[in-house]
Amino acid sequence: KAALFDKREFVEIGVFQTINELVSFVNERSPSNCIVSSVLADHETNMLLSQLEQTSFLLAANSKLPFNTNYQTLNSLGKDRIANAAFVSSKKNLRNTLVIDAGTCLKFDLVTEHNDYLGGSIGPGLEMRFTALNNYTGKLPLVRFEKEYESLVGNSTQNSILSGVKIGMQEEINGLIARYERDFSDLTIFITGGDLDKFELKSKNTIFADRLITLKGLNEILIHNL
């Protein structure tokens, strides 16, 4: 993915199948600066950086970040989690804030009112749960998500899996939200990720949905390093 911003104003996003398509998108728009967040092998990342015509900043564990943290394993902290925390830290009148990222993995990350990133949790995401039941058992089928499914008691193997995965994950999310609300007062909650609209979330506070949180957070880190 690549996103274009004018300072903090989102302009455009592109999703690509190849690095060459991504590079063409970026170079055609000639931004003044770029931030690159990559999980590719080092030689592939270096190849990507070499093809960008703009001054490019690679997000790394030793990058200057717009929040404070004593996270014990910063070298292995996911770039998406770093970006989500950076998005939070840019908010005016910062309060205790929880970011829920429902993507490949289900991630919770907390930034306090003092701009301290504390960490959070990582669990399997929606598709990962369906796939694991199929891969790690002898006979359970691979079931796909059904938005309409709502029954707690599954009356078939497929519906039992839907209940265990969909209803189970929904209850997990709501239970964690309740725990965070109990432990951290005046909590603001954001949710992002590809599966953000697949669950009915419950909170005594408003939950703000934004698919661009990670990209906006990367932009905040870039601004912080200019």
Output the pLDDT for position 69. 94
Q: φ and ψ at 168, to 5 degrees?
A: -60, -45
| pLDDT of the chain, 226 residues: tens digit per residue | 999 999 999 999 999 998 899 999 999 998 999 999 988 888 888 888 888 887 788 898 788 999 999 999 998 999 999 999 999 999 888 899 999 999 999 999 999 999 999 999 999 999 999 999 999 999 999 999 998 999 999 999 999 999 999 999 999 999 999 999 999 988 999 999 999 999 988 888 889 999 999 999 999 999 999 8
Output the pLDDT for position 115. 96
Q: Which 8-state DSSP code applies to residue 69?
A: E
Say if CB 87 and CB 213 are below 8 A apart.
Answer: yes
pTM to 2 decimal places? 0.92
Catalytic residue among 6, 80, 183, 186: 80
- Neighbouring residues of 169: CB distance < 8 A, sequence distance ≥ 6: 106, 126, 129, 199
Say if CB 195 and CB 177 are below 8 A apart.
Answer: no
Catalytic annotation present for 80: yes
Q: How many CB atoms lie within 10 A of CB 141?
A: 12
